[in-house]
A and B are shown apart, each in its own frame.
Chain A
Amino acid sequence: MKALVWHGKEDIRCDTVTDPEIQDPRDAIIKVTSCAICGSDLHLFHNFIPGMLPGDIMGHETMGEVVEVGSGVDGKLKKGDRIVVPFTIICGECDQCKRGNFSVCETTNRKRHLADKVFGHTTAGLFGYTHLTGGYPGGQAEYLRVPFADATHIKVPPGIPDEQLLFLSDIFPTGWQAAAQCDIEPTDTVAIWGCGPVGQMAIRSAILLGANQVIAIDCLPERLSMAEAGGATTINFETESVVERLQELTDGRGPEKCIDCVGMEAHVMPSLPDTLLDRAKQMVMAESDRPHVLREMIYVCRPGGIISVAGVYSGLSDMLPMGAFMNKGLTMRTGQTHVNRWTDDLLRRIEEGEIDPSFVITHTVPLAQGPEMYQVFRDKRDSCVKVVLKP
């Protein structure tokens, strides 16, 4: 089959690989009908997250049709079922899964010895991500083996196009969780850093969760226009001071809730000297992340507020203002998304026409053009926001 394969920094190719096979009774194989490129894939494209091997198949936003099931999947899935695959592989049985903390499932990371060492404890296995999270082949391919398939799936009905359902795999629940863990109250201002696909979903989620005011921050006009379309007031951090504008828009109080949808690769520019220093340290491996957004959020957040981090951080972040964080009594909530915790509710909202996540798609191309699209998405060429690939 064809698949997008990681060969090294900035080198993803569309290779022919052997078809996946059932390896365990709980496996299923799906024929992929749609998959997408995520901002997290860019961190791997840049080799900023350690633990990739040349030959690894990329992709964790995937849906398709079940073509083969193992003997242990009994009844939960059958041939012909249409499923969206959550990017977090879950067993559904361990203590964390029972608590709904699916992204820290204790069973599914088959290389847990690595995660135990690096993170202190294992987290769930993830598709198309690093070997720290199991090194499972990803879904930017014609076929995908879904381990623990009896739990790791979201069944979706026929009649709704792929484009509306695909993002249940990751970015829609990710934006939703980012907003949900802010405990939004009707008087709250929610500020959202980053208007990429995750930020766009977080904006819509904050509106649906009843925020009084949503403010979105980015520097790309096309993404800011999309944020505005979704109900946000926007700030362009290249031309305005984020802190000043946020103070203005909240009568000096600061936003009660701050959401990071940027992560470890915050924009580097001379007017933000900390980003230059972070970039330099990152190059010599003295720091793994560029946490500019975290610093800004802690500084500007209203005392007693909540900081919700959806953006991915990989290792060590320097110079976080812990003094402000502690004295202002802030709360930080983070995490890879517990996808299946939210998807029943979100699927219902899509079915009822409350939201249509396909608004974010700007490019749909055949799988073979994937390698080029990594560059287009990374460089924000052609006003690209979200790329869907068709195998």
Chain B
Amino acid sequence: MFHFSNIVRTKGDPKIVEGGPSLKQPADQLARALGWFSIGLGVVELFAPRRVTHTLGMEGHETLVRTFGVREIVAGIMSLSVDKNAGLWARVGGDGLDAAALLSGLTADNPKKGNIALALLMVGGIAVLDYRAAQDTKPQRPPRDARRKLYPNRSGFPKGIESARTAARQIAAHAKTNEVKQGDERRVP
């Protein structure tokens, strides 16, 4: 079967002798790691929600955990894409939701509140990483109101636009030849 992973480079083509520097930043690597982590956690939450609720003493909240799982997977996929920044901010928001949900389970009568405290600590740590990565991968697009160079003099027509328009009228005939070359049968009555 055809598969893209079966492609190989043709023998005889240039090969790398010495690699040059990569523009990838540590934040890009961090974003990747967080993206995969997000997907991993999301899969567990989506497919084994009972294990999660059991560990946290929060039985009965499986649907919520599943929803959170979907959220983690979506944010993870975004963090791995060229729009990683949006994915990382989605993760920061998600960390907030996670913390809120965990806090709601932190009741005096929960026998697993030790685990919840641990989970809260983890969420806090990850949130710091998410926030750092989101800050450091801010898109470099200039803001809309940034001052820009404008190019009002770059017409591309050394003899001026008017002369180009005039020439065009004569050239219309030439364009018709190209049309015929294309094998175009269209004729205007």
Known: A209-B168, A353-B159. A229 touches B81 (CB 8 A): no
Known: A11-B22, A13-B21, A283-B81. A341 touches B141 (CB 8 A): no
Within 8 A of B (CB), among A170-221: 180-181, 183-186, 200, 204, 207-211, 220-221
* Majority secondary structure of chain A interface residues (helix, strand, loop or mixed): mixed
Cβ-closest chain A residue relative to B32: A9
User: Could you say which of A49-57, A152-160, A320-328 contacts chain B?
Assistant: A49-57
A355 pairs with B157, CB closer than 8 A: yes
B10 pairs with A135, CB closer than 8 A: yes
B residues lining the A interface (CB < 8 Å)? 2, 4, 7-10, 12-24, 28, 77-78, 81-83, 139-142, 144, 148-159, 161, 164-165, 167-169, 171-172, 174-175, 178-179, 181-184, 186, 188
Determine the distance from Cα of A385 to Cα of B150 in the docked complex, in whole angstroms: 11
Known: A55-B15, A222-B148. A231 touches B155 (CB 8 A): yes
B154 pairs with A229, CB closer than 8 A: yes
B171 pairs with A226, CB closer than 8 A: no
Task: Indicate if A332 sits at the interface (CB-CB under 8 A).
Answer: no
B154 pairs with A226, CB closer than 8 A: yes
Known: A13-B19, A183-B186. A359 touches B154 (CB 8 A): yes
| Cross-interface CB contact of A20 among B13, B23, B142, B178, cutoff 8 Å | B13
A residues lining the B interface (CB < 8 Å)? 1-3, 5, 7, 9-21, 23, 46, 50-51, 53, 55-57, 99-100, 110-111, 113-114, 117-118, 131, 135, 137, 141, 180-181, 183-186, 200, 204, 207-211, 220-222, 225-226, 228-231, 238, 279, 283-284, 341-342, 345, 353-357, 359-360, 362, 368, 371-372, 375, 379-383, 385
| Cross-interface CB contact of A283 among B20, B78, B148, cutoff 8 Å | B78
* Majority secondary structure of chain B interface residues (helix, strand, loop or mixed): loop
Contacts across chains A and B counted by CB atoms under 8 Å:
195
Q: A230-B157, A231-B161, A385-B151 are in contact. List 6 more A-B contacts (CB 8 A).
A: A10-B23, A51-B4, A221-B150, A222-B148, A229-B155, A379-B141
Known: A53-B9, A135-B10, A208-B168. A375 touches B23 (CB 8 A): yes
Known: A114-B2, A231-B161, A375-B140. A209 touches B175 (CB 8 A): yes
